[in-house]
Structure 1
Amino acid sequence: MNAVLIALLVLPLLGAALTLAPVFGQDAGTAHRRALRLNSVVTGAVFLLGVALAAGFDHDRPARMQATTDVAWIPAIHVRFHLGVDGVSLPLIVLTALLTFLCALYSEKRLPDGEGTPSAKSFVGLFLLLEVGMLATFAVLDLVLFFLAFEIVLIPMYFLIARWGSGAKVPAANRFILYTLLGSAVMLLGFLLIGSKAGTFDMQALATAHGSGLSHTTQVVAALAIMIGLAVKAPAWPLHSWLPDAHTAAPTVGSVLLAGVLLKMGTYGLVRVLLPVVPDGTTTLAPYLGAFAAVGIVYGSLACLALARSGAKGDLKRLIAYSSVGHMGFVLLGIASLTPAGVNGALFANIAHGLITGLLFFLVGAIKDRYGTADLDTLSGSIGAALYGRTPRIGALLAFAAVASLGLPGLAGFWGELLAMFGAFDPAAGLSRPAFVTYMVLAGLGTLLTAAYLLIVVKRVCMGDPRQPAPVAELADLRPYEAVSWTPLAALTLLAGLWPALLLGLSDPAVKHLLGGG
């Protein structure tokens, strides 16, 4: 099992290195096709390794760290090369491997090109390096390694936005990397403080100690620094402002991975590091995290409502980006409750958001490809874009993703938000119940606002008279490569909604272990 986890990280790294070798041929067209095929093969093999890891995982003991590798790396500062997976990280590793594979398949047909766009070989090298960083973030068990993995993803994503994006792509990429680098720098200070005081950066050893040996002041300062750094990536209000620009400018696969995986790195860090390592500091700061989460839920929903109304010139990609601020607010609220129910809900909502929002960004990318724009007013005009009549399969998928995103029972979006609010209703000992009940009420208001803007989007984009003139003459319905890329996300959204125990059975023992320090 440990060999499988190592291979999971080494394989995309070797694939990225291979793009530097002259093995793709001299002809530009041939090299383009071969590079993109390499991307699909490597990410497909990584996904199969992820499935093998899940199949070999001991599901009877999900709280125990499995497939571990633990060797000294930098003895002078007690840094170890420590890898492992448990019930918290395993679903995120499989989700990451799945989304990168689906994005690679999609890119074979829809890689942005044109004057000034780098070669497909450059895209594949950056894409595989991005996959290494994302997978490593969920697999490493040393704070220094976590920081390095956290940072690896920034450069590839920067170039994916700046070179393969559209619109104001360079300013959006600059804002993305500036925010996330500053957040990471603050997070590193918190890690160094913990390591210097505890004498180790090993996350398992620190979790077992559960804060013993760290003074209350040290825990609060470290928790604050780490929380700020991770909140930027989450993204938590008011540190979210890089996100809408990055999503709007990014290519379709960039938006899918940004929403589906990169945002999860922040919330995963809160669960993996803050809860078990600095529990006293986390308890002190939890009410503030809950407050920012509740504001973020309402703020994200109101921003989406403003973009969805007629005449607002709202960009559909930008609207879904703002919806992520609201949805990730539920994740942060669940974590802030410090209860097993709330944290389990947060982890479930993480996976659900990755599936649903990944599907939404795929769909919006397809609509933008067909219409040449994602502007809601241009798409819908005064009568609606009439996708139900013009492209019924895409219209049906968009409606399905929208109702999943608003939390319809029976689909994946429901359980995480319900459990997060349940955790806020009865927070952990030491937290103010009236404050968290207030946050829960605001979150409930956010669910109503979410339903409002998503139903407006469905009405404007899916409904209308297909006999009226369309902005473009011909609209192709679902293409085979799109069906292959999107169907797994829709199927898993339904499966997770109908069988929540599939994820909660993995996460619940591991969450109780992290909260209890056992």
Structure 2
Amino acid sequence: MSFPLLTVTAAVPAAGAILTAAVPAARRTAAKWLALLVSLATLACAAVVFARFEPGGARYQLVESHSWIREFGVRYELGVDGIGVALIALTALLIPFIVLAGWHDADPLAESTSGSATGHSSKWRPTQGFFAMILMVEAMVILSFEATDVFLFYILFEAMLIPMYFLIGGFGDRAHAGSDSNAAAQRSYAAVKFLLYNLVGGLIMLAAVIGLYVVAGGFSLPEIIAARANGTLDMATNTERWLFLGFFFAFAVKAPLWPLHTWLPNAMGEATAPVAVLITAIVDKVGTFAMLRFCLGLFPEASKWATPVIVALALVSIVYGALLAVGQRDIKRLIAYASISHFGFIVLGIFAMTSQGQSGATLYMVNHGISTAALMLVAGFLISRRGSRLIADYGGVQKVAPVLAGTFLIGGLATLSLPGLAPFVSEFLVLVGAFARYPVAGIIATTGIVLAALYTLVLYQRTMTGPVKEEVKKLPDLRPRELAVVVPLIAVLIFLGVFPQPLTDIVNPSVRHTMSDVQQKDPAPSVPAKNLEAAK
């Protein structure tokens, strides 16, 4: 029996979460260090998965399969393709930085505000629980990228909502304009809205999962794909379309795609900056990943049938999210609406049904995660210093904290996909893929680039340049712990911006498999090669 590497990669953070939660209440610092060490151990396991994956090998590798609920054909079945490997690497890479950035986010409020020596008051918060839930979310997300049993994936898809609910509602942002009671009400509203939206999506998906079992007689994704390919499983057209819609609705909520997006600005605005990164850079990627793996793999004909409508929704997300980002007064909500626009690009790339589009969409998932983490975490450091999320409360920060301003600028430039930074490659591929099959959609999508430049540069201009406001004159620059968070993320953005091949080599074979599932080929060039030669 081969070593269960995929299970171990998810089991390390799960076990770490239990151990972190069990640390005595008086040993908060020990719990933080334990969580950080566990996240680094998980990163090491993910690096081994990345190294052992063979791009030219089988579609699903490092496979594990064990009987779970025999009566219903449910199995504990894991396997990774190149897309899953890339997203596991993203998850494992970001969690140590999330832990470091949130080092003091769950400290007792009494200590941070009144200097109480006891650290116990009505505002006491369980530090161990904060870091334990982050590690538990990491374990569930990694397993969801590995699961090839549809029922197992569904369990993970829903279970990760529980720790996320408590992270949003129980550990909210301390920089709130209102009173403590108003802040608590806003956090509770954001957490409940997040939970309800995703639970509704999950319940609709559950009905589709049951329908899939009735039609296919099992839950194994590789077996269902193989049966569809060899003709032994033939779904009725209407049945396939209804099942597709059930799956897609849940994934569109998680992604989030317009008009199912409204929970995200509330959740990101009220959560701490590290938890906001956990939401949009990691957890939301489960939705777009599942569109590629399950919607296109299980329901290829229905995916093609729904493509025109989904492309239209993606375009609305791109433009609508960017327009609302332009008008935001809250820094974190601006980044949230920018992410909605970026997720529109990802969905457009997936359903453009071209190899460039789907490769770009996968790279976009990774690069968006890193760029958003860099920008949001620096924004979180800024907000924690000033105690306000409002853009109007800042000005001239670059004169008093030049390193903070410089890293904020790089994160913003990555968000607008500046050439030389990682998101540019992915956005370029998505647009090329969209133009190849849907030229009008490609033209509309480019407006998102112009709007991204507008909201990013205006944000930087209003917060970092101009006269130094009185309230920011004494803001300290980035500290060593904060530099340890930001500098590696910027280094990765630059590395993948100039040398994306390590990711493209992993992703492209999996994209070819997905294109084969939906029986699509890239459109032929509109200008024949012989005409190009003649033009020379």
Q: CA deviation digits over 1:300-340, x for unaligned, max 9?
A: 11101111xxxxxx100000000001001000001111111
Q: Where does residue 392 of structure 1 map in the other structure?
A: 402
Partner of 2:249: 228
Tell me how far apart the structure 2 counterparts of residues 291 and 42 of structure 1 sit (CA, whole Å): 42
Question: How do 1:156-175 and structure 2 match up within 5 A?
Answer: 156-166=163-173, 167=183, 168-175=186-193
1:391-432, Cα deviation, whole Å (9 max, x unpaired): 1111111111111111111111112222112222223xxxxx
| Alignment-derived partner of residue 240 in structure 1 | 261
Counterpart position of 1:206? 224
Kindly indicate whether residue 493 of structure 2 is the aligned counterpart of residue 498 of structure 1. no
Q: Equivalents in 2 of 1:264, 1:198: separation in Å?
A: 27
**Is the counterpart of residue 332 in structure 1 residue 347 in structure 2?**
yes
5 Å-filtered alignment, 1:284-295, equals 284-295=305-316
- Counterpart in the other structure of 2:523: none
Helix, strand or coil for the counterpart of 1:141?
Answer: coil
Q: Counterpart of 1:14? A: 15
SS in 2 for 1:471: helix
Equivalent position SS for 1:165: coil
Of 206, 215, 235, which residue of structure 1 is paired with 2:236? 215
**Separation in 2 of the partners of 1:32 and 1:112?**
8
Q: Does structure 1 retain, via aligned residues, the 8 Å contact 2:20–2:34?
A: no
For structure 1, list consecutive stretches of 5 or more residues without a partner in the other structure: 308-313, 380-384, 428-435
Once residues 322 and 2 of structure 1 are traced to their aligned partners in structure 2, the CA distance between those partners, rounded to angstroms, is 43
Q: Which range is displaced more, 484-493 or 141-150?
A: 484-493
Q: Which moved more, 1:237-246 or 1:3-12?
A: 3-12
Q: Distance in 1 between matches of 2:20 and 2:256?
A: 32
Supply the AA of the counterpart residue of 2:501.
A
**Matched residues in 1 for 2:347 and 2:87: separation?**
17
Distance in 2 separating the partners of 1:469 and 1:500:
41
Aligned partners of 1:359 and 1:401 also within 8 Å: yes
| 1:472, distance to aligned residue in structure 2 (A) | 3.9
Give, in whole Å, the separation in 2 of the partners of 1:217 and 1:469. 62
CA distance in 2 between partners of 1:416 and 1:500 (Å) = 9
Instruction: Report the Cα distance in structure 2 between the residues aligned to 1:140 and 1:446, rounded to whole angstroms.
Output: 34
Aligned to 1:514: 514
> Which amino acid is the alignment partner of residue 215 of structure 2?
K
Tell me whether 475-484 or 3-12 shows the greater mean CA deviation: 3-12
**8 Å contact 1:113–1:164 — kept in the other structure?**
no
The one-character-per-residue Cα deviations of 1:367-404 (angstroms, maximum 9, x if unpaired) are: 1111101100112xxxxx22221111111111111111
Match of 1:431 in 2: none
Q: CA deviation at 1:464?
A: 1.6
Q: CA offsets per residue over residues 480-502 of structure 1, 9 Å max, x none?
A: 11111122211111111111222
Counterparts in 2 of 1:84-483, with a 5 A limit? 84-114=79-109, 115-166=122-173, 167=183, 168-210=186-228, 212-307=233-328, 314-379=329-394, 385-427=395-437, 436-465=438-467, 468-483=468-483
Q: CA deviation at 1:66?
A: 1.2
8 Å CA contact 2:417, 2:424 repeated in 1: yes
How far is 1:110 from its partner?
4.1
Contact map agreement 1:271 1:335 (CA 8 A) in 2: yes
Separation (CA, whole Å) in 1 of partners of 2:156 and 2:392? 41
SS of alignment partner, residue 83 of structure 1: strand
C-alpha contact (below 8 Å) 1:210/1:276 kept by paired residues: no
Is the CA contact 1:406–1:447 (under 8 Å) kept in the aligned structure 2? yes
Contact 2:422 2:494 in 1 (8 A): yes
What's 1:484 paired with? 484
Shift of residue 112, structure 1, vs aligned partner: 4.8
TM-score, normalising length: structure 1: 0.92
Letter in 1 for 2:44: L
Q: SS where residue 103 of structure 2 aligns? A: helix
Runs of 4+ in structure 1 deviating by more than 6 angstroms, as ranges, are none
1:59: how far off?
3.5
Pick closer, same or farther for the CA change 1:341–1:469 going to 2, 3 Å. Answer: closer
Q: Distance in 2 between matches of 1:148 and 1:82?
A: 13
Structure 2 distance, partners of 1:302, 1:52, is 42
Q: 1:134: Cα distance to partner?
A: 1.1
**What secondary structure is seen at the aligned counterpart in 2 of 1:67?**
strand
Aligned length: 491
- Cα distance, 1:469–1:293 mapped onto 2, change above 3 Å: closer
Match of 2:59 in 1: 64
State the AA in 2 paired with 1:174.
V
Residue 230 of structure 1 contacts residue 266 of structure 1 at CA under 8 Å; is this kept in 2? yes
Report how far residue 124 of structure 1 moved.
2.5
Q: Which amino acid aligns with 2:70?
A: P
Q: 1:127 & 1:406 partners in 2: Cα distance?
A: 28
Q: Shift of the alpha carbon at 1:233?
A: 0.6
Deviates more, 1:104-113 or 1:506-515: 104-113
| Whole-angstrom CA distance in 2 between matches of 1:226 and 1:124 | 31
Match of 1:53 in 2: 49
**What is the match of residue 176 of structure 2?**
none
User: 2-side partners of 1:53 and 1:69: how far apart?
Assistant: 13
Percent sequence identity over matched residues? 33
> Gapped runs of 5+ residues in structure 2?
110-121, 174-182, 520-536
Please list the CA deviations of residues 86-118 of structure 1 after superposition, one character each: whole Å capped at 9, or x if unmatched.
Answer: 211001001101111211222334435314343
Q: TM-score, normalised by structure 2?
A: 0.89
User: Aligned in 2, Cα 1:457/1:450: closer, same or farther, shift over 3 Å?
Assistant: same
AA at the equivalent of 1:10: A
In the other structure, the counterpart of 2:32 is 36
1:382 is matched with none
Q: Which has the larger displacement, 210-219 or 118-127? A: 210-219
Amino acid at match of 2:427: E
Q: Deviations over 1:59-107 (max 9, x none)?
A: 433x521111011111111111111112110010011011112112223
Distance 1:274 1:488 in 2: 35
1:310 counterpart residue number: none
- Measure the CA separation in 2 of the matches of 1:70 and 1:453: 48
One-letter identity of the residue aligned with 1:305 = V
Please, what is the CA RMSD of the aligned residues?
A: 1.6
* Stretch deviating more after TM superposition (261-270 or 486-495): 486-495
Q: Alpha-carbon deviation of 1:155?
A: 0.8
